[in-house]
Structure 1
């Protein structure tokens, strides 16, 4: 009989892979998926962020994204208003996905 540790090592890797890419507003990261790049471009154009991270956390199928964005545009606004600005900017993209996680950082 295999020990618990040996059984864990024998398991195949998970069928999904979480891809994490961070791109500053000043440069384009060619390793982003099409969906990540579209979101990145729209948010960069609208908010000129000092920090922007767009992640497809659905294993690459484009159904769930996690976004972290830092911008002066969020200064003085409530979190609800900050998130509303982001979701309004991504209205077209949101129609085709199942979930969106947003973290805004006022500068």
Structure 2
């Protein structure tokens, strides 16, 4: 069963809970290759490997059929910092 970006997004928002989730289907619609960006308080204090394991556990069944899955996991503070314009004035 192919999965849609909206299905994955809703599941991540519900299960984490996440304040921001962006899911990009990079497989031309066949549901086999995804990139996700997830912002959640649950990532605070956790190293990258534990963040990724948490996401993999949530999508355990889906990942049996998804062939390629990449993710970027951020805390709300990291997300906010990444959205700030860079101040280049001296």
Normalised to the residue count of structure 2, the TM-score between the two structures is 0.77
Structure 2 portions without partners, runs of 5+: 77-90
- How many residues end up aligned between the 2 structures? 74
Question: Which residue number in structure 1 is paired with residue 30 of structure 2?
Answer: 61
Structure number with greater Rg is 1
RMSD between aligned residues: 1.1
Question: More relative contact order in 1 or in 2 (CA 8 Å, sep 6+)?
Answer: 2
1-structure distance, mates of 2:7, 2:61: 11
2-structure distance, mates of 1:48, 1:103: 15
Question: Which residue number in structure 1 is paired with residue 83 of structure 2?
Answer: none
The CA deviation at 1:57 is: 0.5
Structure 1 portions without partners, runs of 5+: 1-33
The CA deviation at 1:48 is: 2.1
Normalised to the residue count of structure 1, the TM-score between the two structures is 0.65
The CA deviation at 1:61 is: 1.1
Hey, which bits of structure 1, 4+ residues long, moved more than 3 A? none
